[in-house]
Amino acid sequence: MKNISLLFLAILAFVLPGFSQSAKNYQLPPMPMKEAQQLGFIADPGKVAEVKMDFPMSSGKIEPTWESINANYEKSPDWWRDAKFGIFIHWGPQASGMSGDWYARNIYREETDAYKNHLVNFGHPSEVGYKEVLHQWNPTGWDPEKQVKAYSDAGFKYALVVGVHHDNYDLWNSKYQPWNSVNVGPKKDFIALWKKELQKKGMRFGVSFHHEYTWWWWQRAFGADKAGPKTGVPYDAAKLTLADGKGKWWEGLDPQRLYGKPMIYDHLSFEEKAYILEDIPFGRRGIFGNDLDYAKWYATQWAMRIEDVVDNYDPDFIYTDGNSTQPFSGDHSGSGYKCDAAQRVVAHFYNQAASRNNGKIDKLAIVKFSPPQRGVATTFEGSFPKGIKNDQPWMADRAVGDWFYRPGFVYDAGAVVRTLLEDVSRGGNLTLCVSLTPQGGMDEGSAAMLKEIGAWMKINGEGIYGSKAWKVFAEGEMVKDPRRPDAPERLRGMPGGKLDRPHADFKFSTKDFRFTEGKDGSLYVWCMTVPMPEEMIHVKSLGSNSSFVERKIANITLLGSSQPIEWQQEKDALVITCPEKIGLKSAACFKIQF
């Protein structure tokens, strides 16, 4: 550990290009590195004062506090509430490994499939590390026009495009990160090209930022194999410096701007060091500890890169990834530093929006796992709320198979449709990741799945787009949680997590329903499976004695069918007789007009 650390007793100070509209001559401060520094932990972030950052932001009525953001943000945009269904374009050079999510980090972990695949496809990470993956990445099959058409045909109304993942590689012409897709690899500004095609199709455009915890994510890259012929041979991040690039393709690019810096924990026990290198993500607090100068630099460059996209690409919405109540909260994945960087970024985004739109803010900032507040949306990754959630806008973000491509995904349109219904019935949106291949296209399974989803949405979209949660979101089978035998029964619903075989195989019955309300007041009753021809189904929530029924039912139709529907409103249930021919897939929708 000592020898590796000595290699990094100094990191070259640098000066980056000036910031855009807000302060043209602004420069990031040098990245500090102090000799023999000792890093500690913040035991209780609640007792640590929040640092007020000083990087530039757009002026306007919104100040960089959550109080000001919530007070001055009137409401989430109509387009967001109406859209309901979006594509998460979660793609970049990590798809090259065809090893699923976190490929870049896992090539430095011997026990992982990513490491093993990397040995075969690229070489040993002491010789061919992730920076070489970036250099070789050349997605010749990427056709944004073709991809966006497929997304539009599938019924997606917006796209959330990854701007930078945990790998610290910016997928735009970044002013503050030289390791970007215009300088290294394909020489393309992916954000600009995605936006161009999305706007042609009338789809809203968002950018996601996942570099909040890059600082700990790369720590294993400063290690070495613990067994085998390369035992103790440092990986590339642990030995390469700016000077080593002279005469090579990466001349002038500092590897530490990609990988960050090694955290020095010499005062900790062996077990604590191992934990930090292997499993730091979500349980520790204040990992930067005493290295607060570096922490401030890190939070500043995190923010400046987001503001660069806001100023130069004008997204309709932004998303910041993390696993805490806010980025740089001092806790969980935001544990590196406790500061107001997130508030400044959100205030900048909204003030820029107001200045461009006659004072109106028609944009949305999404902060992963944000607590209820008016000024930002929150997320439910791989899950959904227990019931209707109307106290702030939200989206469920789900991946089909995994967040980055690997072979063997289970593609099932029905699983996506029923997951969508779980979300919209609760008042939210579904933002779905369908991973692209390393070459930038879809494989046969994902392409076929999107076509089937598109066909379903053409029939049923009127009950999705522009809808809102009804008085109750569902009825159906109630079950006990075997892990909590004393807990009350809960509604049986779609499993959580990434969409895979359990979701494709999950079976609902014709007793399971979800509800949405259309803009014209129509009620859409979603049967979570397709009934048999002439089957009689009973909707208890719509019986004449139900407290949810205030108006007399005038008409019932089955979306996708021209056949008349027989029905009878009894005291304990609305009884609907299905037509003799149905011909639907995944789920059926009965439109009820009053």
Q: Where residue 563 falls among pLDDT bands split at 50, 70, 90?
A: very high
Place of tokens 């109630």: 478
> How does DSSP assign 62-128, residue by residue?
--SSHHHHHHH-----HHHHHH-EEEEE--SGGGGG-S-TTHHHHTT-TTSHHHHHHHHHT--TTTS
Same domain, 269 and 286: yes
Structural domain containing residue 91 = 2-463
How many other C-beta atoms can be found within 10 angstroms of the C-beta atom of residue 121?
A: 16
Instruction: Provide the pLDDT for residue 47.
Output: 75
Do 306 and 319 touch, CB atoms closer than 8 A? no
Residue 256: closest CA among 337, 175, 179: 179
Same domain, 63 and 123: yes
Instruction: Provide the pLDDT for residue 293.
Output: 82
Instruction: Provide the pLDDT for residue 421.
Output: 98
For 127-143, the pLDDT digits (tens) are: 999 999 999 999 999 99
Same domain, 448 and 479: no
Show Cβ contacts of residue 2 under 8 Å, excluding neighbours closer than 6 positions: 266
Instruction: Provide the pLDDT for residue 480.
Output: 85
Same domain, 405 and 477: no
pLDDT mean over 389-414: 97
Same domain, 170 and 188: yes
Residue 447 pLDDT > 70, yes or no? yes
Do 319 and 71 touch, CB atoms closer than 8 A? no
Same domain, 22 and 95: yes
Residue 37 pLDDT > 50, yes or no? no
* Residue 82 burial (10 A CB sphere; 0-12, 13-18, 19+): middle
Number of domains in the chain: 2
Q: Where residue 8 falls among pLDDT bands split at 50, 70, 90?
A: very low
Instruction: Provide the pLDDT for residue 9.
Output: 27
How many other C-beta atoms can be found within 10 angstroms of the C-beta atom of residue 266?
A: 12
Instruction: Provide the pLDDT for residue 16.
Output: 30
Do 189 and 172 touch, CB atoms closer than 8 A? yes
What are 423's two structure tokens?
Answer: 């979300």
The CA distance from 105 to 107, in Å, is 6
The CA distance from 414 to 505, in Å, is 10
Residue 585 pLDDT > 80, yes or no? yes
The CA distance from 214 to 168, in Å, is 7
**DSSP character for 547?**
T
Do 255 and 237 touch, CB atoms closer than 8 A? yes
pLDDT mean over 430-456: 98
Q: Minimum mean pLDDT among 173-177, 274-278, 475-479: which range?
A: 274-278
Residue 40 pLDDT > 80, yes or no? no
For 316-352, the pLDDT digits (tens) are: 999 999 766 788 887 766 566 789 999 999 999 999 9
Last residue of a domain, one of 445, 463, 481: 463
* Residue 455 burial (10 A CB sphere; 0-12, 13-18, 19+): middle
Residue 81: closest CA among 362, 375, 372, 467: 467
**Virtual torsion, Cα 342, 345, 349, 354, nearest 10 deg:** 100
For 207-263, the pLDDT digits (tens) are: 999 999 888 889 889 989 999 999 999 999 999 999 999 999 999 999 999 999 887
Instruction: Provide the pLDDT for residue 25.
Output: 42
For the chain, give the percent of residues with pLDDT over 70: 87
Residue 264 pLDDT > 90, yes or no? no
Higher pLDDT, 274 or 221: 221
For 510-543, the pLDDT digits (tens) are: 999 999 999 999 999 999 999 999 999 999 999 9
Mean pLDDT computed over every residue of the chain: 89
Instruction: Provide the pLDDT for residue 330.
Output: 78
Instruction: Provide the pLDDT for residue 272.
Output: 55
Instruction: Provide the pLDDT for residue 20.
Output: 32
* Residue 116 burial (10 A CB sphere; 0-12, 13-18, 19+): middle
Residue 29 pLDDT > 50, yes or no? no
Higher pLDDT, 18 or 296: 296
Residues shown for the chain:
594
Q: Where residue 408 falls among pLDDT bands split at 50, 70, 90?
A: very high
Last residue of a domain, one of 417, 440, 463: 463
For 96-135, the pLDDT digits (tens) are: 999 999 999 999 999 999 999 999 999 999 999 999 999 9
Do 332 and 376 touch, CB atoms closer than 8 A? no
Instruction: Provide the pLDDT for residue 32.
Output: 36
Do 55 and 300 touch, CB atoms closer than 8 A? yes
The CA distance from 461 to 467, in Å, is 10
What are 146's two structure tokens?
Answer: 């073709």
How many other C-beta atoms can be found within 10 angstroms of the C-beta atom of residue 581?
A: 11
Q: Between the CA of residue 278 and those of 11, 219, 222, what are the distances in Å?
A: 24, 8, 12
Same domain, 67 and 94: yes
* Residue 365 burial (10 A CB sphere; 0-12, 13-18, 19+): buried
Do 509 and 527 touch, CB atoms closer than 8 A? no
Q: Minimum mean pLDDT among 333-337, 348-352, 565-569, 588-592: which range?
A: 333-337
Kindly state the greatest CA–CA separation across the chain: 83
Higher pLDDT, 288 or 175: 175
Same domain, 426 and 484: no
**Which CATH number fits the domain that encloses residue 57?**
3.20.20.80
For 55-111, the pLDDT digits (tens) are: 999 999 999 999 999 999 999 999 999 999 999 999 999 999 999 999 999 999 999
The CA distance from 379 to 386, in Å, is 13
Do 7 and 238 touch, CB atoms closer than 8 A? yes
Do 62 and 69 touch, CB atoms closer than 8 A? yes
Higher pLDDT, 5 or 414: 414
3-class SS string, 233-275: CECHHHCCCHHHHCCCCCCCCCHHHHHCCCCCCCCCCHHHHHH
Last residue of a domain, one of 436, 463, 490: 463
The CA distance from 73 to 62, in Å, is 8
Q: Minimum mean pLDDT among 166-180, 264-278, 579-593: which range?
A: 264-278
**Which CATH number fits the domain that encloses residue 482?**
2.60.40.1180
Same domain, 519 and 568: yes
Same domain, 23 and 136: yes
SS3 content of the chain, % helix, strand, coil (to 5): 30, 15, 55
Q: Where residue 419 falls among pLDDT bands split at 50, 70, 90?
A: very high
Q: Where residue 7 falls among pLDDT bands split at 50, 70, 90?
A: very low
Same domain, 403 and 550: no
Place of tokens 């949680």: 481
Same domain, 474 and 448: no
Instruction: Provide the pLDDT for residue 335.
Output: 60
Q: Between the CA of residue 584 and those of 271, 452, 460, 531, what are the distances in Å?
A: 57, 11, 10, 9
Show Cβ contacts of residue 510 under 8 Å, excluding neighbours closer than 6 positions: 527, 529, 531, 532, 535, 537
